[in-house]
Structure formats: C-alpha cells, structure tokens
C-alpha cells in the first residue's frame, strides 16, 4: 500500500515504520503540496524509515485563505510539527523544496527537533522573476487542460492553492514579502547549521537564482555540505534523467546520515 492518498493529493500524510528510530519529514514550498514528495517518500518508506509530509497553513484551500495567512504561521506550524514527531523518534531527517528548505534549515537549529540531516531542493537565498517562469505560471493556472505541456501540467498538479481571479494575485504580494523576510532570517542563521546538508539546485531554475546553492554552502561553515547541480530541470519539474539523479542523491543522503539502508520491505510490510 502506498503511504499517501492519490485521491486527495494535498492532504498531509504520516506513516509509521514499525521499529524505526528515524523519520523523514518533507516540507513543501510557496504554493506547494505534500504530493510533491510522493516518490521520495515512497523511497524512504521502502528503505525502512517512517515518513511524514506536511501541509503548511494557508495551503490546500482557497486563494483567499492563502493571502490571509501570514508567513510566520508557516514557520511556527512546521516547527511545531517537527517537534511533535521528534518526541517519538531519535533522529529526524528533513527534506525541503524551495521555501520548505528554509524552514528545514531553521528547524535544524533547535536541539529538541533531533534533526540529523537536511536535504534541500531548489532552496532560495534570492529569487528572480523570469519571462519563462511567468509564462509557465500563467499557463499552469489559467490555460485549458488541453493546452498544458508536461511542465505546466506538473505545476498545476503540485499547486495546492485554489485558483484566484487575476486581481486577487496582487494580494499575494505580502506573502512574497514574508518569503523574503524568511530568506533574510535564514541567511543570518546559516553559520549555526551543523548537520550534514545536501543541496540540489537546477541551473535553469526560473524562480530561484542558481547561485543560491553556492551562497548556502559558503555560509554553512560548520556543516558538511554537498552541492548537486541539475542542468535542465525547472523549479518544480525534473526531467526524467535528472529525477533519477535526485532519487540517487536522496538515497546517498539517507546512507550518509544514517548508515547503509536496511533494504526493501517485505510484501507484508509494504501492505
């Protein structure tokens, strides 16, 4: 049985692996969804880890709910959830996409979270708005289904915030400002990070400046960092070959932090 519900892709999920002392927690980004991590969470589950994928406040509902949810609630809720899981597990591994990576790094600073390692996917210290990204975003949100390509279709699927009328998107600007404040906060905290970190960054990311990966690594002076570059992927879409790179790096990350994987689960354990 899969550890998530495909019929409700934006629902958070948690599945306990009997006997596991480690949980892998996934944190999505701005407009993101727990469904972004189905494949990686399946991989972690089959390698013997408990798994959880969070849904941040203001996500999974209407655009109005999103625009009215201040960014401090994202940070507070993610930290609260991680602390709650840490009460049960000896080690916590955090996987964050984009803004979720910032929250993962922030959470790693608190001893009670038991964070033993952080895996980052296209995590920003600076963002930019490109014509390519704007065109894809508009297409993913407003285009009829028949006009979507594989990239815009993926973006539509992983967007957990309900479609809004165009004027309402201007009300999203305070949330963008919240994201900028979070980037500034984490930038100052990076020298305090001491757990192993893997940074995966696409050079063609249309939202995050690719140099963010270099800045992240350089500022984490007390953390063992590994930087992995993707050449052709987008911010939230990975080409087939580079998706395999991400999965391989994730497997190595788990082994790097926790030792050799325990192997695939039995049929009884998978069900």
CATH of the domain at 141: 3.40.50.1820
Give the integer Cα–Cα distance in Å for 133 and 88: 41
Give the integer Cα–Cα distance in Å for 50 and 18: 8
Domain hosting 175: range is: 13-270
CB-based contact 253:198 (threshold 8 Å): yes
Q: Whole-model pTM?
A: 0.94
H or E element: which one contains 197? Answer: strand 197-202
Q: What percent of the chain has pLDDT over 70?
A: 95
Whether 225 is in a domain gets the answer: yes
Average pLDDT, the chain: 93
Domains contained in the chain, number: 1
* Neighbour tally for 254: CB within 10 Å: 23
pLDDT value for 260: 67
Residue 269 has pLDDT above 60, yes or no: no
Confidence of residue 263 (pLDDT cuts 50, 70, 90): very low
Which spans in the chain are helix H? 38-46, 63-67, 71-86, 99-107, 131-142, 150-158, 173-189, 211-219, 240-258, 267-270
Whether 7 is in a domain gets the answer: no
3-class secondary-structure state, position 11: coil
Whether 8 is in a domain gets the answer: no
- Angle (CA) 36 111 59, round 5°: 30
pLDDT value for 167: 79
Whether 3 is in a domain gets the answer: no
> In the structure, how many helices (H) and strands (E) does the chain have?
10, 7
Chain segment 113-168, per-residue pLDDT in tens: 999 999 999 999 999 989 999 999 999 999 999 999 999 999 999 999 998 887 77
Closest CA to 53 of 69, 71, 31, 33: 33
Chain segment 41-54, per-residue pLDDT in tens: 999 999 999 999 99
Confidence of residue 261 (pLDDT cuts 50, 70, 90): low
Whether 140 is in a domain gets the answer: yes
Question: Which has the higher per-residue pLDDT, 251 or 264?
Answer: 251
Residue 70 to residues 73, 127, 168, 174, Cα–Cα distance (Å): 6, 19, 16, 8
CB-based contact 97:36 (threshold 8 Å): yes
Residue 268 has pLDDT above 80, yes or no: no
Whether 5 is in a domain gets the answer: no
Per-residue pLDDT, averaged over 207-233, amounts to 97
SS3 content of the chain, % helix, strand, coil (to 5): 50, 15, 35
């Amino acid at each position: 049985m899969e550890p998530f519900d495909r019929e409700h892709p934006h629902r958070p999920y948690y599945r306990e692996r009997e006997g596991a002392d480690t949980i892998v927690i996934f944190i999505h980004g701005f407009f993101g969804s727990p469904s972004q991590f189905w494949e990686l969470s399946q991989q972690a589950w089959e390698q013997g880890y408990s798994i959880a994928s969070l849904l941040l406040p203001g996500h999974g509902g209407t655009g109005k709910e999103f625009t009215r949810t201040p960014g401090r609630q994202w940070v507070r809720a993610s930290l609260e959830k991680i602390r709650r899981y840490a009460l049960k597990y000896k080690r916590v591994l955090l996987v964050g996409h984009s803004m979720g990576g910032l929250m993962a790094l922030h959470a790693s600073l608190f001893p009670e979270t038991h964070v033993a390692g952080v895996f980052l996917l296209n995590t920003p210290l600076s963002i930019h708005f490109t014509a390519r990204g704007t065109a894809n975003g508009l297409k993913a949100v407003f285009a009829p289904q028949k006009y979507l390509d594989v990239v815009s279709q993926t973006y539509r699927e992983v967007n957990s915030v309900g479609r809004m009328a165009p004027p309402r998107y201007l009300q999203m600007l305070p949330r963008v400002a919240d994201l900028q404040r979070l980037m500034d906060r984490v930038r100052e905290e990076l020298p305090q990070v001491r757990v192993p970190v893997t940074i995966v960054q696409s050079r063609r990311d249309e939202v995050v400046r690719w140099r963010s990966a270099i800045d992240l690594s350089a500022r984490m002076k007390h953390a063992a960092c590994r930087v992995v570059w993707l050449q052709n992927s987008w911010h939230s879409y990975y080409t087939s070959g580079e998706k395999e790179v991400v999965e391989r790096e994730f497997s190595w990350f788990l082994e790097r932090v926790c030792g050799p994987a325990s192997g695939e689960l039995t049929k009884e354990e998978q069900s």
